[in-house]
Amino acid sequence: MKRAIIFGATGGIGRAIASRLAETGWSLYIHYNHSSQEAKKMVDEFVEKYPQQEFFPLELDFLAKDESIKKIISSLLPLSAAIFTQGITNYQFLSSQNLEQIENVIRINLLTPIKITSLLESQLLNREHGRLIFIGSVYGGQASALESVYSASKGGLSRFVQGYAREVASAHLTVNVIAPGAVDTPMNAIFDAETLNEVKNEIPAGRLAEPKDVVFWVENLLDERSDYLTGQTIYVDGGWLV
């Protein structure tokens, strides 16, 4: 049985990935932190549609103490893939953020994913085609003012993946980042229409990314034929960085 865990599964990108993987035969852990009702709704929907598969809600706070994280991760059934879609940002000048806000971005976007990866390594190495996929950001390649800490966390994720992929490549575990530009999800609801139009005008493709644009590349990386692609950051940005 193909089984994956999707961290941040109740978000715009995470939900789209979960829906597609469930449709294509995967059993899933649906991770959430605060959105318990949304996670339960997703699980109920998937169980009804795909009764031959297994679906479990999984609560985990990425700011929790190490022992709590270890306990939850150690309870998981065998996995073939882990997909990290969770993330937060503070759209502010650095001087306007307190130290806790800064630390939380780094912990949720970078530090805790690395810790969880270390805890999952042994079981993913036992799979014939193990997969680790992280959702990064175009700002990991070209940093943004007002999101300097977020940019640092996503850039750090790409550097981690470059190094870690070399450690596990011989065991057929691939590790990659998919780095979209601005995606049309609730996370960008903080911006007004004028700001979003300005962003669109900067993108050669003339539009924001949609969750399905990210899902396409997740599916490709999960494919068994993608065994030779690892340590990469794939920019899905409509030409924004060109």
pLDDT one-digit tens code per residue, 129-145: 999 999 999 999 999 99
The DSSP bridge pattern shows strands 55-59 and 233-236 to be unpaired
Structural domain total, the chain: 1
DSSP, collapsed to helix, strand or coil, labels residue 3 as strand
pLDDT-derived band of residue 182, with 50, 70 and 90 as boundaries? confident
In a domain, 46, yes or no: yes
CATH code at position 221: 3.40.50.720
* Amino acid 90: pLDDT: 93
In a domain, 116, yes or no: yes
CB–CB of 9/30 below 8 Å?
A: yes
Decide if pLDDT at 24 tops 90: yes
Spatial CB neighbours of 118, under 8 Å, sequence gap ≥ 6: none
Domain with 90 in it: 3-236
How much of the chain exceeds pLDDT 90, in percent?
A: 87
In a domain, 103, yes or no: yes
Angle value at C-alpha 41, between 27 and 5, nearest 5 degrees: 30
Spatial CB neighbours of 153, under 8 Å, sequence gap ≥ 6: 105, 106, 109, 110
- Going by C-alpha positions, the residue among 195, 226, 188, 192 that lies closest to residue 210 is 188
How much of the chain exceeds pLDDT 70, in percent?
A: 100
Q: Amino acid letter at 86?
A: Q
Decide if pLDDT at 240 tops 80: yes
Q: What mean pLDDT, rounded, does the chain reach?
A: 95
* Amino acid 200: pLDDT: 86
In a domain, 242, yes or no: no
Would the CA dihedral through 34, 37, 39, 40 be positive or negative? positive
pLDDT-derived band of residue 25, with 50, 70 and 90 as boundaries? very high
